[in-house]
Amino acid sequence: ADSYALSIKECILNPGHTIKIVFNTIVDKGDFLIESMISTPLGWLNISTPVFIAYTFLFLILLTSMRDESQKEIVLFRVRDRIFIWLLAIITIGICVAAMLLYWTPKDSTVILGLQGRYFLPVLPMLALSLRNNAIVVRKNVEALVVSVTYVLGCCVIGGVWYQCLL
């Protein structure tokens, strides 16, 4: 960028401005962060896949994290463990956000620049598994369905990438 980035000192001395930038980023770029965490855009953000593929993959991740009623031996997390997992996730996401805020975002920007959803991908399985409980239970074995849909979606992504590369 052509201007200086925010410094740690400025973020600490002006927390209202920092919170406003983070809030604006969530509001303005939240959908992009979710979509880019799962499947679109790919590469250097120049290969797009349909948005429904990203949300279908996200739904499959959440579906597979729910306990199958026939799997009685699966250990569920205690509330204390869930709180710990969510704190780790928030800290990890906070570090990514802070890094882009301090390294990549110019002082005059209203949102955090350079932030992409793929930076949050390592946190996704942790959060999905922490949602497993006794209240929301998958009644049927859906493994075959999940594998089939994942295969079809993967083929759609590969086909779309090839199509865009050939243009």
From residue 12, how far is each of 8, 53, 98, 111, 132 by CA, in Å?
6, 40, 12, 17, 37
156: closest CA among 60, 43, 31, 50?
Answer: 50
Q: Would you tell me how many other CB atoms lie within 10 Å of the CB of residue 58?
A: 17
Alpha-carbon distance of 33 to 45, in angstroms, equals: 12
Confidence (pTM): 0.84
Kindly list the averaged pLDDT for each block of 10 residues, start to end, along the chain of length 167.
81 94 96 90 84 93 82 81 96 96 91 93 92 84 91 93 87
